[in-house]
Chain A
Amino acid sequence: MTKNMENYNVNEKGYYGEFGGAYIPEMLYPNVEELRQNYLKIMAEPGFQKEFNQLLKDYVGRPSPLYFAKRLSEKYNTKIYLKREDLNHTGAHKINNTIGQILMAKRLGKHRIIAETGAGQHGVATATVCALMGLECIVYMGEIDITRQAPNVARMKMLGAKVVPALSGSRTLKDATNEAIRDWINNPVNTHYIIGSAIGPHPYPDMVTKFQSVISAEIKWQLKEHEGRENPDYVVACIGGGSNAAGTYYHYLHEEEVGIIAVEAAGLGVNSGESAATSVLGKEGVIHGCKTLLMQTQDGQITEPYSISAGLDYPGVGPMHAHLCKTGRAEFISIKDDEAMTAGLDLCKLEGIIPAIESSHALAIFEQRAFKPEDVVVVSLSGRGDKDLQNYIEYFKI
C-alpha cells in the first residue's frame, strides 16, 4: 500500500469511510455479533482454508481461466482479458461465497440456511451448497421474480430447497431480502443467513468480499503468466450489490496504478425514472443493515430500481463500493439496457461466449470509453447467459 493512500478495507467498527456499520434491530444483534466475533478467526483456521480451497478446486472448478479475448481486443484496439467466472459450477461467481458461508455456518453449529435471491443465481448457489452439506435450505424470492425466473426456481427445488415467495412491497429482490431478515429474526438460534452480495450489516460485506477475493488473487498470478506482470491497467466489473466487483477489485484496491471501473445498470437511462444507477441517483441512507448509497425519495423511502438484468436491479450498492465512489478510487460508468444487450450479443459473435446480461453491462464500456492499445483491461465475466436466454430471445426476436 502506498503511504498516502486511503484505506479501502473495512475498519474495526465495520465501516468503509463513512459507509457500512450494522444498522440492525436488537433481535438480530446476537446472530450478527456471533458472526462478527468469529468470522475472521474461523476463516484463518488452516482446516477451514483447506476445506474451502479444496471445494473451490474440485467442486467449483477453480481456478477459472483468465482468457485473452483476441477478437474483442482487436475490435477495440486494446488488450482485453476475461475472468471466466461464468465457467464455475452453477454458472456464476456466486458459488465462491456460498461455499465459504456454508462452511462458516457449519462451524457455527447452524443447521438451517436461509437466503434471498433476485434472478435466482444466488438462490441456486445456496441450494447447491446446502445439498452438498445436507442442510435445510429456504430461499426467499420476490413473487414477481419467481414468475420471471421459472427455470432457476425449478433448479432450486430439484436441489431440495424450499422457495418462499416474498409477497410484500414490490415483490422483488429488496422484498425477498426483507423477508429473509424477518425469518432470521424469527429463528435466531439455529439459522444462518447466507447473504449473496457485498451488502448487509457488518461483517457481511467484508466476509462476502473475502470469499470472493479468490477472483483477484487468481487474476494476479494468471496475468503474470500471460503478461509478465500481476497488475493490469484496469479491472472492470458490473455492480448490483457488488459481490463480483468486490472480489475482482480486492487485491488491487491499494495498487495505485490499477484503475478500478465499476459498471452500473442505467436501465432505460439514468434520468428516465427506470434505472438502477445508484452512484448517480443514490444518496447516503440505510438499507438492509448498512449505511451506503441508496436510491430513495426525498422523504427517505426506498425506491424501486429498474434494469433489464435482475442481478443489477437493487436500489443500493455495497458500502465498500459507496466508499470507492465517494473517494474517487473507482470510476463509475452507467450502461443502458440496450447497450448491454448489444455488447452481450457482440461477445457471442466475436468470442463464442454467451454472457449473463449482468456481465454484458461490464462489456459495454468499450463502446463508451477509450483505452490505449497497450492497456491491459481485465473484465469480470461474472456469469453465463443460459439463465437469460428468454430475455435475449425476446429482445433480439431470435
Chain B
Amino acid sequence: MNRIHQKLQENKKLLSIYFTAGYPTINDTVSIIQDLEKNGVDMIEIGLPFSDPLADGPTIQASSTQALKNGMTTEVLFDQLKDIRKSVNIPLIIMGYFNPMLQYGVEAFCKKCQEIGIDGLIIPDLPVDEYHDEYKAIFDKYGLINVFLITPQTSVERINFIDSISNGFIYMVSSASVTGSQSGFGDEQTNYFKRIADMNLKNPQVIGFGISDNKTFTQATNYAKGAIIGSAFIKHVTNEGINTINTFVKSILE
C-alpha cells in the first residue's frame, strides 16, 4: 500500500511541509527531511527547483533561484535521496514544474521515484487532461500518486472530474493566489472550505497556500484532512537556519 494512502487513513489532521531541495545549502535535503519527520510532520513535499516557477510567490522563487545557484539538479536530488528510505518512513512527494521532468524523461523520472521510494508527485503546470491522456499509465506503472489542485474558481463539474481521476488526496488551493501571498483566512475562504467539504468527495482534501501558523493550520484542518505549509517554512529556514525546525513545527501544532 502506498504510504500516502496509509497516512490518509490515520485518525488525525495531517501537517505537510514543503521545502525547496538544495536550499539554504546544497546538502541540507536529507537532514531537513529527517528533522521534519522526527518533529512530527506527517508528509513532506520536496521541491525540485525550477528557473521559472510561475505559480510561486517571491519566497519560493528566491529559494529556487538560490538552490539552482547552489548546484541542485534532478540528478543531484535523486542521488541525495537514494538511501532516504533507510531512515524516513513518512510519505514523500516531489513537487516540481514539468519541464525538468520532461527533459529527464517522464518514464525515467517515474522509475527513479519508485526506486527511491517517492510516493507521489505534484506538477502544477501539467494539466489534468494532458496527464490523463499522456502520462497516467506511466505513473500507475510505477505506483506513483499524482496530486491535482483545485481552486475557489474550479467549477463543480471539474472538481468531480478531478476527484474521479485522483487516487490519494486533492490539493485545495486556499485562494486565488500564488504561494506565500496570504495572511489569515476570511469568510470567503472558510465558505469555500465548507463548500468543498460538503461535496463529500471520494478523495480527502489537503489545503495549501496561506497556511503559516497554528491559527491558519487549525482553520484549514477544521474543514480538510490536512494542510500544507511552504513559504512560511522557507522563511523560517532563511531567517533561523535549519537547526530550529523543531520550534517551527511545534509552533504550528502547539
Cβ–Cβ < 8 Å partners of B158 in chain A: 29
Whether A169 touches B155, Cβ cut-off 8 Å, given contacts A23-B125, A23-B130, is no
User: What is the size, in residues, of chain A's interface with B at 8 Å between Cβ atoms?
Assistant: 36
Chain A, 259-302, CB within 8 A of any chain B CB: 283-289, 294, 296, 298-302
CB distance from A305 to the nearest CB of B (A): 13
CB distance from A282 to the nearest CB of B (A): 12
Is B241 interfacial (CB-CB < 8 Å)?
no
Is A10 interfacial (CB-CB < 8 Å)?
no
Cβ–Cβ < 8 Å partners of A30 in chain B: 151, 153-155
Which B residue sits closest to A291, measured CB to CB? B102
Which B residue sits closest to A174, measured CB to CB? B52
Per-position binary interface string of chain B over residues 122-158, scored 1 when its CB falls under 8 Å from any chain A CB and 0 otherwise? 0011111010000000000000000011110111001
Which B residue sits closest to A299, measured CB to CB? B73
CB distance from A346 to the nearest CB of B (A): 37
Is there contact, CB below 8 Å, between B154 and A29?
A: yes
Is there contact, CB below 8 Å, between B149 and A25?
A: yes
CB distance from A164 to the nearest CB of B (A): 13
A288→B154 CA distance, assembly (Å)? 21
Is A115 interfacial (CB-CB < 8 Å)?
no
Whether A286 touches B51, Cβ cut-off 8 Å, given contacts A26-B150, A185-B176, is no
Interface window among A67-75, A106-114, A186-194, A214-222? A186-194
Is there contact, CB below 8 Å, between A25 and B52?
A: no
Per-position binary interface string of chain B over residues 88-103, scored 1 when its CB falls under 8 Å from any chain A CB and 0 otherwise? 0000000001111111
CB distance from B47 to the nearest CB of A (A): 14
CB distance from B182 to the nearest CB of A (A): 10
Whether A300 touches B74, Cβ cut-off 8 Å, given contacts A186-B178, A287-B99, is yes
Whether A181 touches B54, Cβ cut-off 8 Å, given contacts A27-B151, A27-B176, is yes
Cβ–Cβ < 8 Å partners of B153 in chain A: 27, 29-30, 188-189
Q: Within the complex, which residue of B75, B97, B128 is in contact with A26, where a contact is CB–CB below 8 Å?
A: B128
Is there contact, CB below 8 Å, between A26 and B102?
A: no
CB distance from B169 to the nearest CB of A (A): 14
Whether A26 touches B74, Cβ cut-off 8 Å, given contacts A182-B178, A186-B176, A188-B176, is no
Is there contact, CB below 8 Å, between A300 and B102?
A: yes
Cβ–Cβ < 8 Å partners of B74 in chain A: 299-300
Is A21 interfacial (CB-CB < 8 Å)?
yes
Which B residue sits closest to A301, measured CB to CB? B51
Is B68 interfacial (CB-CB < 8 Å)?
yes
Cβ–Cβ < 8 Å partners of B55 in chain A: 25, 27, 182, 185
Is there contact, CB below 8 Å, between A299 and B100?
A: yes
Is B39 interfacial (CB-CB < 8 Å)?
no
Is there contact, CB below 8 Å, between B173 and A169?
A: no
Which B residue sits closest to A285, measured CB to CB? B99
A25→B50 CA distance, assembly (Å)? 14
Cβ–Cβ < 8 Å partners of A29 in chain B: 127, 153-154, 158
User: What is the size, in residues, of chain B's interface with A at 8 Å between Cβ atoms?
Assistant: 42
Interface window among B9-17, B57-65, B184-192, B224-232? B57-65
Is there contact, CB below 8 Å, between B103 and A187?
A: no
Chain A, 299-320, CB within 8 A of any chain B CB: 299-303
CB distance from B49 to the nearest CB of A (A): 8
CB distance from A118 to the nearest CB of B (A): 15
Whether A24 touches B100, Cβ cut-off 8 Å, given contacts A181-B54, A300-B74, is no
CB distance from B76 to the nearest CB of A (A): 9
A284→B103 CA distance, assembly (Å)? 8
Q: Within the complex, which residue of A23, A187, A301 is in contact with B98, where a contact is CB–CB below 8 Å?
A: A23
Is B177 interfacial (CB-CB < 8 Å)?
yes
Cβ–Cβ < 8 Å partners of B58 in chain A: 168
Is there contact, CB below 8 Å, between B99 and A302?
A: yes
Cβ–Cβ < 8 Å partners of A189 in chain B: 153, 176
Is A56 interfacial (CB-CB < 8 Å)?
no
Whether A25 touches B102, Cβ cut-off 8 Å, given contacts A186-B177, A186-B181, A187-B176, is no
Is there contact, CB below 8 Å, between A25 and B54?
A: yes
Cβ–Cβ < 8 Å partners of A296 in chain B: 99, 103
Chain A, 151-202, CB within 8 A of any chain B CB: 168-169, 174-175, 178, 181-182, 185-189
Cβ–Cβ < 8 Å partners of A21 in chain B: 127, 130
A178→B62 CA distance, assembly (Å)? 14
Cβ–Cβ < 8 Å partners of A168 in chain B: 58, 61-62, 65
CB distance from B148 to the nearest CB of A (A): 7
Which A residue sits closest to B98, measured CB to CB? A286
Chain B, 235-254, CB within 8 A of any chain A CB: none
Which A residue sits closest to B181, measured CB to CB? A186
Q: Within the complex, which residue of B102, B130, B173, B177 is in contact with A285, where a contact is CB–CB below 8 Å?
A: B102
8 new A-B contacts, CB < 8 A, other than A169-B61, A186-B176, A300-B99, are A21-B130, A26-B154, A27-B153, A285-B102, A286-B125, A299-B103, A300-B104, A301-B99
* Chain B residues proximal to chain A, CB less than 8 Å: 50-55, 57-58, 61-62, 65, 68, 73-75, 97-104, 124-128, 130, 148-151, 153-155, 158, 173, 176-178, 181
A-B contact pairs, 6 of them (CB 8 A): A182-B54, A188-B176, A283-B103, A289-B125, A296-B103, A301-B68
